[in-house]
Amino acid sequence: MPMHWGILQHVEFEGPGLLLAEIERRGFTARMVRLDLEQSLPVVEDLDGLIVMGGPMGVYEQDRYTHIAPEIALLKAVIAAGKPVLGVCLGSQLLAAALGARVYPGIDSGLPQEIGFGSVALTAEAAHDPVFAAASSPWPVFHWHGDTFDLPAGATLLASSSVYPHQAFRYAANVYGLQFHVEPSAATWADWQPHLAAERYPSAEQQQLLENTGKVLIRRLFDVFSATSGSARPAAQPVTQESLA
């Protein structure tokens, strides 16, 4: 049976981009959940994997954003079930929290926001990772965050930047956190443009480079996820976005 993914989206303009394109290319299915519209979270039994996208809120703002604590609980349950997980930007911070790590504003440690086209340096462990072994160092990415996290216990650090040391990690065989973005498509950039200062918006050449390199990592991620899923479900639903109507 095709894998069925849950995709948690926190704001209208931060969708799954190339991640959803890869899901569809492989014949998998997905349920989009818009948490900013108060749509309900999926249950673990209905999922073969979970993707958690970015957003402007902080993990520590649980009183203001009531979906954060249930998201962390869902992440814990999916990990405990041995199912694949990918956290992107805020999603990586939520994943770190689910694994027991501290998440906090970078400014608390005197670190600036990290926003714009940039790169990450791969660690020595990345050369042995089934996803990042396909990448070279430095690897181009798009940064858009001001929060960070401690490396979860038992996790393997895969990438760092000159400002924030914890940029990518793997936990177990099929749980990945990416503090940076690799998923923007042409449509994503159009959605992001009103929210980014002009000097931080990437050029057309940078956008194309990020799409090309993003596809490399995303395809390797789904190779790993497919090989480690081990789940069998009786049926899967087509790609949908829940409506409140």
Block residue for tokens 């000097």: 199
Cα–Cα distances in Å, from 174 out to 87, 118, 163, 204, 221?
11, 26, 27, 33, 8
Among all residues, which ones are annotated catalytic?
89, 181, 183
Q: What percent of the residues of the chain are helix, what percent strand, and what percent coil, each to the nearest 5?
A: 35, 25, 40
Measured distance CA(245)–CA(58) in Å, rounded: 29
Torsions phi, psi for 65 (to 5 deg)? -115, 100
Measured distance CA(174)–CA(233) in Å, rounded: 19
* Under 8 Å between Cβ of 45 and 19: no
ω into 138 cis (within 30 of 0): yes
* Under 8 Å between Cβ of 166 and 160: yes
Measured distance CA(224)–CA(121) in Å, rounded: 22
